[in-house]
Amino acid sequence: MTIAFAPSARSTVGIEWELMLADGETGDLVGRAPEIMPALEELTALERHTVTAELLTNTVEVTSGVGDTVEAAIHDISDAIHAVRTQTDPRGIELMCAGSHPFAKWYGQTVTDKNRYAALIERTQWWGRNMMIWGIHVHVGVEDVNKVFPIIHALTGYIPHLQALSASSPFWAGERTGYASNRALVFQQLPTTGLPWQLRSWSEYEAYLDDMTRTGVMADATEVRWDIRPAPHWGTIEVRACDGMSTLPELAAVAALVQTLVESFSRDIDEGRELPVLQPWFTRENKWRAARYGLDAEVIVDREGTQVPVQQHLLETLDRLEPIAVELKCAREFTSIRGILERGASYQRQIAVAEAADGDLREVAKMLMREFRNGPTLRDRSRIDPLSAPFGI
């Protein structure tokens, strides 16, 4: 099977953000996407951004156009959210995002009426119906198909860092799970999900796709749902490992980190340096540790098995890559990663609210709705996160 990798400008950025639709009073999910989507499709038909339906009717996904910078992609996302609010605000529907909803139950949700979603549920059954998860996808353009898999394998070493920063699913169906990212472990129950196979070349990827389509595992390349995957149609590497980010500034920060890592690895290839690749058993363990412990995880950072606190390794990475972030014009967003480390990731904020409310998870849902609309507190804006102010949503 031959799969063309589309021409793409190097280190351009695209972002997808899955958003929950919630009742503004109770915080519970509402399956009202079919009610608002016709108007949104018409409203955004000629725009750079898009708004689309997802697997469950309680979800919409907003997508940017191709951005030369993270800032450009984030402006598209902000415009898409404003479009969504023209339909949700009059109906009393709030938007929020996390890797999971604090208390909603899977059996209270409905699946979007599309053939491909029906086929997915038919095949995956209970696990498919339990896919009450929300995430972000960050695309970065790669100009040479021969770079794709070396960069993917090097990026896989940073899955725990990205997962820890974005972890936002500590609760599942009303229970505290003990995990920072329960979503990470739920999602990998589906076929063709999880860590990418360590393929060495594009031709091996084409052979993989041929095997999978001939045996009926999937219909085409779009059903490869790895944590990091090629997106041949767009000419990008797509990072899908993250939980849904709870605020737009945090989304921008993680997108900047992904863009900068990809560009860094691309430069290493240009200069003849071999990219680092961890053993698959180390990457699997790292993913579990980040899902379990979030920003308190210790991660394995080299083939010798050196273990370092993920926050420490993140700070070292930020120091090393900051000059590249400046060149990519995403230094402000990139620096805001430090703000997440100082303020706490979404899973930490959710747990703190739940504990202060004696376990009342309705308060967590209200906090998520409030954060999504208003961003971090005024104290946090002035002390930590300069991104909050210009990107109110």
pLDDT average, residue stretch 128-137? 92
First-to-last CA distance in the chain?
44
- DSSP code of residue 243: B
The HSE-up count of residue 232 (CA atoms within 13 Å, CB side) is 15
Write down the domain spans for the chain: 13-388
Query: Are the beta carbons of 152 and 230 closer than 8 angstroms?
Result: yes
pLDDT at 375: 64
Which pLDDT tens digit goes with each residue over 230-274?
999 999 999 999 999 999 999 999 999 999 999 999 999 999 999
**β-sheet bridge partners, residue 336:** none
Tell me what pLDDT residue 255 has.
98
CB neighbours of 360 closer than 8 A, spacing ≥ 6? 354
199: confidence class by pLDDT, cuts 50, 70, 90: very high
What is the CATH number assigned to the segment(s) 13-388?
3.30.590.20
pLDDT band at 95 (very low <50, low <70, confident <90, very high): very high
The rounded distance, in Å, linking the Cα atoms of 162 and 129 is: 26
Q: How far is CA 79 from CA 50, 204, 237, in A?
A: 9, 39, 24
Spatial distance between the Cα atoms of 217 and 185, rounded to a whole number of angstroms? 21
| 185-190 mean pLDDT | 93
Is 26 within 8 Å of 362 (Cβ atoms)? yes
Mean pLDDT across 144-156: 98
**Of 317 and 1, more confident:** 317
* Contact indicator for 230, 205 with CB cutoff of 8 Å: yes
DSSP-derived pairing of the beta strands 13-23 and 59-63? antiparallel
Encode pLDDT of 298-316 as tens digits.
999 999 999 999 999 999 9
Contacts for 359 with CB less than 8 Å, ≥ 6 apart? none
By DSSP bridging, strand 228-231 and strand 236-239 are: antiparallel
Instruction: State the pLDDT confidence band at 105, using cuts at 50, 70 and 90.
Output: very high
What are the structure tokens assigned to 235, written together? Answer: 């000419």
Instruction: Give dist(CA 286, CA 298) in Å, integer.
Output: 8
Rounded Cα distance between 337 and 70, Å, is 14
Q: Nearest CA to 33 among 21, 23, 49, 18? A: 21
| % pLDDT > 90, the chain | 88
Q: Alpha-carbon distance 305 to 261, whole Å?
A: 21
